[in-house]
Amino acid sequence: MINISDELKSLVDGVSYPWSNLANASALIFDSMTDLNWAGFYIMHDGKLRLGPFQGKIACTEIAVGKGVCGTAVQKDETQVVPDVHKFPGHIACDSASNSEIVIPIHKDGAVYGVLDIDSVAFDRFSEEDRKELEKCVKILEAVI
């Protein structure tokens, strides 16, 4: 796993507008990791996850808490690493090419602000090392949203 977090830190340094940071973060992750077909954010709004900045194919605009991998990550407030999405009950297939996924909750003021969602066309794409590096990226973003 390459070190994305250092590059992300310099990318968001001094940028106060959250959407710009989320937009550039999705582009950096999408460009830096192999075999990805989607990388982006869903943001909590009125009790639901709403589509935010992303790279990839057209995606679902709303996800209820507890639904899909994203809604489950919010409900459990835990990173979800899914080696095979076809075996994840209730997986929401925005892009039928997705085979594995990682979703990391993002926090602000002690509450879940949204999630970082990354899909891959490869099965079992996301290692423990990837998880740690991406969670480091989320920590950096939590300071600039």
Tell me which residues touch ligand SME (CB under 6 A). Answer: 38, 59-60, 63, 68-70, 91-92, 94, 98, 101, 117, 119
Give the C-alpha separation, 91 to 81, whole Å: 12
As beta bridge partners, residue 36 has 120
Strand ordering across the sheet containing 36-45: 62-64, 48-56, 36-45, 111-120, 100-108, 80-82
Rounded to a whole number of angstroms, the minimum distance from the CB of residue 68 to ligand SME is: 3
The first and second tokens of residue 106, run together, are: 């993002």
Q: Which is nearer to ligand SME, 21 or 98 (CB)?
A: 98
| Chain residue at closest Cβ approach to ligand SME | 68
Q: Which is nearer to ligand SME, 69 or 137 (CB)?
A: 69
Q: Which is nearer to ligand SME, 15 or 58 (CB)?
A: 58
